[in-house]
Amino acid sequence: MSSFVIKSIGNALNATSYISPKYASNKALQLFATPRKGSYTDAQKAIIEDAEQSSFSYKNLSISVYNWKGKGKTLLLAHGWESNASRWNYLLNDLKSQDYNIVALDAPAHGNSEGKQFNAVLYSEFINVVAKAFQPEVFIGHSVGGMASIFCLHNHDLPSVKKLITLGAPAHFTGVFSRYKQMMGYNKRISNGLDNIVLERFGQKTDYFSAANFTKNFEVEGLIIHDKKDKIIPYEDALLFTNRYKKGELLTTVGFGHGLKDKSITPKLIEFINR
């Protein structure tokens, strides 16, 4: 959406908040949690067609899973916002050459998985279901897929997982939420209302959902990959991870942006997995 459209929506909800702050806040959260894209295009369908496809479920929501079978370590790949499992296309051939057993899933309300809205907590439960089924040694998550992977490891006992790789992952939910509020230009009524809804739905304040803090006691080894020019999730988030995650190491890139789809990273990623 253009900045004009974004500000127009924000202004309309701000005006509504004077009449019904709860209604305006619920609409603001719905806008935040509803992906505008992430369904498969024809070209993306071709990327996953050679995988063995299966379906799992969590609370009556179907989870679509793709498995490129191999005899080596099992890797579980979690994509980010408004994407799907095809985003790993740039990596697949190199991972296949290592004979890894590659498993990827579609997030809630993304790809072929069910759901109308997305949040990282729900995504973490999807990841847990798939991890229990495939027993991966390595989690790889891009952006909010990295955050959801951390939430999953924090909330569930997954002894098979020995390593975690995050690419451009947000260190805390408050930062993501604050940037959304600022982008939309929400007033204090909506801003406070959004925080209250999170507390009501999840039983915790927004600042509780800190992926960086959750890694403090992780025993799994971590590789934190982040670009200095990431315009979506600031590089400072990577530094926060590095400060908290005692078994985590930072790999800094420059010029690859938030997507981090550059072949120069792949050998370092594989080296970390194999060591």
- What pLDDT, on the 0 to 100 scale, is given for residue 3? 75
Same domain? For 119 and 233 the reply is yes
Same domain? For 193 and 259 the reply is no
* pLDDT range class, residue 2, cuts 50, 70, 90: low
Q: How many domains are contained in the chain?
A: 2
Contact 221, 164 (CB under 8 A): yes
Same domain? For 192 and 158 the reply is no
The dihedral built from the CA positions of residue 91, 221, 228 and 83, taken in this order, carries a sign that is positive
Instruction: Count CB-CB contacts under 10 A for residue 63.
Output: 24
Taking the C-alpha atoms of 64, 80, 154 and 249 in order, what is their torsion angle to the nearest 10 degrees? 130
- What pLDDT, on the 0 to 100 scale, is given for residue 163? 98
- Whether 38 maps to a domain, the answer reads no
Q: What residues contact residue 191 under an 8 Å CB cut-off, 6+ apart?
A: 181
Same domain? For 204 and 131 the reply is no
Query: Nearest-5° angle of CA 70, CA 135, CA 88?
Result: 55
Same domain? For 247 and 260 the reply is yes
- What pLDDT, on the 0 to 100 scale, is given for residue 6? 84
Same domain? For 225 and 242 the reply is yes
- Whether 12 maps to a domain, the answer reads yes
Whether the full predicted model's pTM is greater than 0.75, yes or no, is yes
Same domain? For 161 and 179 the reply is no
Contact 264, 91 (CB under 8 A): no
* pLDDT range class, residue 4, cuts 50, 70, 90: confident
Nearest by Cα to 163 from 221, 202, 212? 221
Return d(Cα 73, Cα 59) in angstroms, integer.
29
**Res 46 pLDDT > 90:** yes
* pLDDT (mean) for 104-125: 97
- What pLDDT, on the 0 to 100 scale, is given for residue 122? 97
Three-state SS string over 35-93 comes to CCCCCCCHHHHHHHCCCEEEEEEECCEEEEEEEECCCCCEEEEECCCCCCHHHHHHHHH
Name the burial class of residue 152, with classes exposed (0-12), middle (13-18) and buried (19+) by CB atoms within 10 angstroms of its CB. buried
Q: CATH number, domain at 234? A: 3.40.50.1820
pLDDT digits (tens, 9 = 90+) for 60-108: 999 999 999 999 999 999 999 999 999 999 999 999 999 999 999 999 9
- Whether 39 maps to a domain, the answer reads no
Q: Which of 183, 209, 235 is the last residue of a domain?
A: 209
Return d(Cα 23, Cα 28) in angstroms, integer.
9
- Whether 47 maps to a domain, the answer reads no
- Whether 122 maps to a domain, the answer reads yes
- What pLDDT, on the 0 to 100 scale, is given for residue 161? 98
Residue range(s) defining the domain that contains residue 129: 52-170+218-275
- Whether 41 maps to a domain, the answer reads no
Instruction: Output the average pLDDT for the chain.
Output: 96
Same domain? For 79 and 142 the reply is yes
Same domain? For 184 and 90 the reply is no
- What pLDDT, on the 0 to 100 scale, is given for residue 158? 98
Same domain? For 181 and 85 the reply is no
* pLDDT (mean) for 238-256: 97
Same domain? For 156 and 272 the reply is yes
- Whether 252 maps to a domain, the answer reads yes
Both structure tokens of 256: 């690859």
- What pLDDT, on the 0 to 100 scale, is given for residue 112? 98
Give buried/exposed letters for 103-129 (b at 16+ CB in 10 A, else e): bbbbbbbbbbbbbeebbbbbbbbbbbb
Same domain? For 252 and 117 the reply is yes
- Whether 43 maps to a domain, the answer reads no
pLDDT digits (tens, 9 = 90+) for 158-209: 999 999 999 999 999 999 999 999 999 999 999 999 999 999 999 999 999 9
